[in-house]
Amino acid sequence: MDKTIVELFAGVGGFRLGFDKLNSGWKTVWFSQWEPGKKTQWAHDCYVSHYGDEKDLNGELTTGIDIASVDKNAIPDHTLLVGGFPCQDYSVAHSLKGEKGIEGKKGVLWWQIRDTIIAKQPPFCLFENVDRLLKSPAKQRGRDFGMILACLNNLDYDVEWRVINAAQYGCAQRRRRTFIFAYKRNTKYFKNQKNRSVDSILDSEGFFAKGFPVDTIDKRMIKTTKIPEDLLEVSDNFRFLFENSGYLHDGELHTLKVQEIEEKPIVLRDILQSNVDEEYYLSTDQLKDWTYMKGSKRIERVAANGHKYVYSEGPVGFPDAYDKPGRTMLTSEGTKNRSTHVVADPWTGRLRILTPIEAERLQGFDDDWTNTGMTNRQRYFCMGNALVVPLITRMGKQIDNLIKEE
């Protein structure tokens, strides 16, 4: 089996960089990156500056246009489909064309992934999403993730998933993300896994359990249910409390809260630069505002209907601790914002924000990865949207091993 990848919602290339670092022969044959409504496609241009553009089967450059406009049949065949897609509203309704058809909400990117799978039938898929995916929406907990699982089940895939905190497995950031690994039921990997017990897959023999070890589980704590095949049934009625680990086999899903065997992380001190430019330091007259933003609050507010309530939030470390990994980086990183990291510079003792290179290091990218002509604001934004590269390399090692068996 060849080692070819198609990367959807590629951002600045985190998936590709993660697999490249394996040096094991993976080749990305096509990618897509498009920010709707943006005049300048910063992430796409950054990706192209590192890797060049990719052509579809018709010889056309289609990676710089909306994925919804792409003919999925023209995407090259591939072994592994990857992508980090946003958590959106995955509900569906009857289509206007008849009761047997369904339509998801316009602009929801999961349906572009599903259309790609239908057209190309890749043996393996690896996706990334936010951790709240498992619990959304608030009014019907588990529906959105249930919709994804139902789609994959109907397309003849088994699925394993895991919520991974990057810092617990040796990285520099306390970033929790949901990872989904799906594999076609005609693969040797499926044939091997289907003969294993559910508890062994969650405990030691599954894709994520091998790459990201956990403590011995209590199989009595595994929750099990059937996922409906009818997507309308999932959309209207499915509810389920998903835990941080799970396995879908032939329509039956199993989930369990696992306890990670934690590894020593990279701490914030280890990623800091010396001789940082003055522009990153906080001025004396800004300290009052920063102290207020980072502090705890209890504020009385009035809702639109006249109801009074108290808005409260706890304190954020100010400055951020040197001896811990960084907090989850958001797209607002680098702005005057409660979520922005602030450190006491080890060489000057003065408070400052992180540099763009330090933001890249939090995500495990190479230094100056985003230094491709975009502004610092855009560099922070792209990193806030990115994934943790070393996690992808680690998953890639697992995929390398199972590809050998194919």
Return the residue matching tokens 């006249």: 306
Q: Could you confirm whether 382 is annotated as catalytic?
A: no
Return the residue matching tokens 């000057």: 348
Q: Which long-range contacts (CB under 8 A, 24 or more apart) does 163-168 make?
A: 163/131, 163/134, 163/244, 163/245, 164/208, 164/212, 164/391, 165/260, 166/325, 166/388, 166/390, 166/391, 167/265, 167/325, 168/260, 168/262, 168/263, 168/265
Q: How far apart are CA 177 and CA 147, in angstroms?
A: 18
Neighbours of 6 (CB within 10 A): 24
Return the residue matching tokens 């020593």: 264
Catalytic residue among 46, 87, 151, 382: 87
Beta carbons of 187 and 124 less than 8 angstroms apart: yes
Largest Cα–Cα distance in the chain?
A: 68
- Pairing verdict, β 4-8 and 80-84: parallel
Q: Which two three-digit tokens encode residue 173?
A: 């950031």
Q: Which residues are catalytic?
A: 87
